[in-house]
Chain A
Amino acid sequence: MAVNPDLRAREQRLAADLDLARTGPGTLAGRFMRQFWLPVFRAEDLPKGHAKPIRIMSEDYTLYRGESGAAQIIDQRCPHRGALMHLGWVEGDDIRCVYHGWKFDRTGQCLEQPAEEPGYARKIRTGVYPTREHLGLVYAYFGAGAPPPFPPYPAPLADGLIENPAPPVISCNYLQCLENSLDEVHVSFVHRTGGSHQGMYDLPAIGAEETEWGVLRTGERQGEMRLSLHYMPGCTRVVVPPMKGFDGVGGWKELYLNFVPIDDESCQWFIIYHVRVTGRDAEIYLAKREDYAKKLAAAGPAPDLAREVIAGRLPFAAIDHPDLVRVQDVAVQAGQGAIADRAAEHLGRSDRAIILWRRILAREMTALAEGRPPKTWTPAPASVVPTLGF
């Protein structure tokens, strides 16, 4: 691709100053992120008739599921006197505020104000945001204008089970978690204890290229090639070993790991696993998963244990947990600080994919800053899939 050298130089100068990590409203990174569908909730945690408060990219909203089954997102607060809308009642696909009974429909129009003059309601609106569901997650679009195509990325091609573990809240900026997923070398060290990634201890040479949908990353080991996909703006699709507590049952799984900012200093991981089991194998797997869930409940949340490791109260090598890999990852990534100090880094060849990702972010943010049209991303073809490579 021919690149205008002036533009490249300007991007490089700007990249040093650009804040890639902060995604609040009005920030360049926030404007970039708001061009995409983002996962916001695990679908099974939102029964019909329930409303929940959510915080995404430093903004608060109310998520509810109407009685038709459709998930809806509206503003956090009632426009009357600021009551929290999630305390209210879901009525059909509408929601009624707990404070004075103002009722809003799914377009945000106020329909009823029981104690007010007739005619006032039609002047009142609340914000609404498009939502969709895919692979067990609720997605929302927070940008201006019409949302991009849905689904944002293809479903797995092979037979098997889809599962969504409870989405953990991680106490650091989303971008360092996403960058970790671009960094295959870490597994040989971070995940050495416990032996989960035994097949991958020899170090790969990392390659990465930009595509129409994100970044395709390669890890080459003695002629074998591991392929991982990074969908814009924050979903990594990769083949991973089973969690320790599964004792190998179900084998390596395909993982879609979505990194979504709650605010600048915390993020949530929305996880989709595709497990290639059917028939009798699926039954064995599901029984094992029940057993695993019990172990997990008894062990406590992985981020809590990671906090103990970060604080130095528990040695890294001494962690024992059914979700060992998760504890190891969180300890390392949240351990970089709430927002990693990228100015103090010394990057090397193994960071090639991270460098490419940052360059894309800087280029796109520069385009937004200068009022030029950003790149039009298109959903990936279903035929491009991650591979294990050994």
Chain B
Amino acid sequence: MSIIDADRVNEARTEAARSPRAEIDIVRTGPGTPGGRFLRRFWTAIHRSEDLAKGQAKPIRILCEDFTLYRGESGTARVIDQRCPHRGALLHLGWIEGEDIRCVYHGWKFDCTGQCVEQPAEEAGFARKVTLRTYPTQEYLGQIFAYFGEGEPPPFPPYPGPQTDGFIDVWNPETVPCNYLQSFENTMDEVHVAFVHRPGGSHAKIFDLPIITAEETDWGMIRYGTRQNGKVRVTLHYAPSTVRVIVPPLVGMEWQGGWVEIFFNLTPIDDENHLWLVSAHVPLTGATADAYRVKRAEYSRKVAATAPALQVALELIAGKHRYADVRHPDLAVVQDIATQAGQGRFTDRSKEHLGRSDAGIILWRKILARELRTIAEGREPKRWTPAPASVVPVPGF
């Protein structure tokens, strides 16, 4: 393990610049790419649990591949191929029957193992020769996870839950029009909050600039933001793309419940779009929890009556409003999407000028490049293990 300070960062940069090896593509995640093979070794958060009712099927796109997600009548979420193996109809148009799904086109029915169990218009005996692919699913902290890799999935849950009393409040999912890695990098970049989130004042307590350090762990990366008064904010980055951090409430919550711990999953839809699936742990019980829920309902009504955060962010990118003038119940989300999607679908890393505040990003890129190269060269990648429950984020003020 190494603590990365500014000197080490410069050293790493010089080393990278001298390296005769070809740059490895760290942003693409489609099937067969090193990045895609890396991400498929982990459980992937794919959908907010409450947005999938029993008996409902939906199309989903994850890591540049299309699937059908449905919830059987027992309540279990299932992921199967996008299309019926008969003639390619979309399976989410079909019917859920118990735990099975029936294709809308010719009524082929598949059980939860992917076995075809009925083909109403075909010869008997054909059905048993037909299967479609299914993917393991689990639910945790209000999100549905799936495993898209080979062989047995890694341990579940992929990371430990909150250690204090309270409840989980799952934020509205966002679709962000840029590559997942630049948003994940933003989570490693604590300095951004002092500028990006200055208008609106959500992060007013942490406007003095921290010194960033980071180290690799068995489960990802731990990052420290050390402030002038010596206090340290600790943030956890679970491999491959989840950040656990303590953050201020969204502005529409009007400080009800105070700062919350979030488990923020960044999941590629394809190379140019990704999902933000955020589970917040609200450390409240009893009457304070009830007051939070009342405010939460009021907040939801405000959000429903306002232009979506993504739309406002795209208008900012297009220059239709002045950044400092925007008001929104999800202001921090608007600000983050405008900044990160504003870097372009893929930020051009060859034009960057990194500094000491980018220490977390530099370390993560080094880890990612090392793992992707290992995978590309057919060697055995690092065995990540779930983090111990005792390692928790700290707000640091």
Chain B residues within 8 Å of A115, by CB:
191, 194, 209, 355-357
Residue in A80, A81, A98, A116 whose beta carbon sits within 8 Å of that of B323 in the complex:
A98
Count of chain B residues with a beta carbon within 8 Å of a chain A beta carbon: 30
Cβ of B196 and Cβ of A82 under 8 Å apart? no
Beta-carbon contact of B358 and A87 below 8 Å: no
Binds A, one of B50-58, B116-124, B150-158, B340-348: B340-348
The distance in angstroms between the C-alpha atoms of A93 and B177, with both chains bound, is 32
**Per-position 1/0 for A79-123, Cβ under 8 A of B:** 111111011110000001111110000000000011111001000
Q: A82-B348, A98-B323 are in contact. Are A120 and B355 (CB under 8 A)?
A: yes
The reply to whether the CB of A53 lies closer than 8 angstroms to some CB of chain B is yes
Closest chain-A Cβ to B288's Cβ sits at a distance in Å of 35
Which stretch in B82-90, B245-253, B313-321 binds the other chain? B313-321
- Is A276 an interface residue when CB atoms closer than 8 A count as contact? no
Chain B CB within 8 A of A326 CB: no
Closest to B341 in A: A84
Contact with A along B188-212 (1 / 0, CB 8 A): 0101101110000000000001000
> CA of A58 to CA of B28 in the docked complex: distance in angstroms?
26
Shortest Cβ distance from A100 into B: residue: B191
Secondary structure dominating the interface of A: loop
Pick the contact of A124: B189, B196, B338, B353 (CB < 8 A): B353
**Residues in B neighbouring A99, C-beta threshold 8 A:** 192, 195-196, 339
Which residues of chain B from 293 to 323 have any CB-CB distance to chain A below 8 Å in the complex?
A: 316-319, 322-323
Q: Residue B16 at the A interface, CB < 8 A?
A: no
- Residues in B neighbouring A124, C-beta threshold 8 A: 353
Taking CB atoms, residues of chain A closer than 8 Å to B195 are 96-101
Does A253 make an interface contact (CB < 8 A)? no
Question: What B residues does A98 contact at CB under 8 A?
Answer: 195-196, 323, 339
How many A residues face the partner with a CB closer than 8 A?
28
Query: Min CB distance, A156 to chain B, in Å?
Result: 31
Chain B residues with CB under 8 Å of A120's CB are 355
In the complex formed, the residue of B with least CB distance to A124 is B353
Known: A50-B322, A113-B355, A114-B194. A81 touches B317 (CB 8 A): no
Give the residues in chain B near A101, CB-CB below 8 Å.
Answer: 194-195
Q: How far is the CA of A83 from the CA of B343 in the complex (A)?
A: 5
A82 contacts which chain B residues (CB < 8 A)?
343-344, 347-348, 351-352
Query: How near does chain A come to B331, taking the closest CB pair, in angstroms?
Result: 13
Q: Does B391 contact A (CB under 8 A)?
A: no
Is B24 on the interface with A (CB-CB < 8 A)?
no
Q: For the complex, is B291 an interface residue (Cβ under 8 Å from A)?
A: no
CA distance A117 to B343 in the complex (A): 24
A97-B195, A101-B194, A116-B357 known; A80+B352 contact, CB < 8 A: yes
Q: Would you give the 0/1 interface string for B324-365, flagging 1 where the beta carbon is closer than 8 Å to chain A? A: 100000000000001100111001100111111110000000
Most buried by B among A77, A84, A89: A84
**Which of B171-195 touch A at CB < 8 Å?**
189, 191-192, 194-195
Instruction: Give bound CA distance, A83 to B82, whole Å.
Output: 36
**Docked complex Cα distance between A75 and B356 (Å):** 24
Q: Is A186 in the interface zone, CB < 8 Å from B?
A: no
A365 to B6, CA, bound (A): 50
Q: Which of A50, A87, A89 contacts B342 (CB 8 A)?
A: A87
Nearest CB of A to B297, in Å: 32
Chain A residue contacts of B6, Cβ below 8 A: 117
Select one of B209, B317, B318, B324 contacting A89, CB under 8 A.
B324
Q: A348 CB to closest chain B CB, in angstroms?
A: 42
Closest approach, in angstroms, between the C-beta of A160 and any C-beta of chain B? 32
Q: A239 CB to closest chain B CB, in angstroms?
A: 34
Could you list 6 A-B pairs, sorted by A, with CB under 8 Å? A51-B322, A79-B352, A84-B342, A98-B196, A99-B339, A100-B191
A86-B319, A115-B357 given. 17 additional CB < 8 A pairs?
Answer: A51-B322, A80-B352, A81-B347, A81-B352, A81-B358, A82-B344, A82-B352, A84-B338, A84-B339, A84-B342, A89-B323, A98-B339, A101-B194, A115-B356, A116-B357, A117-B6, A124-B353
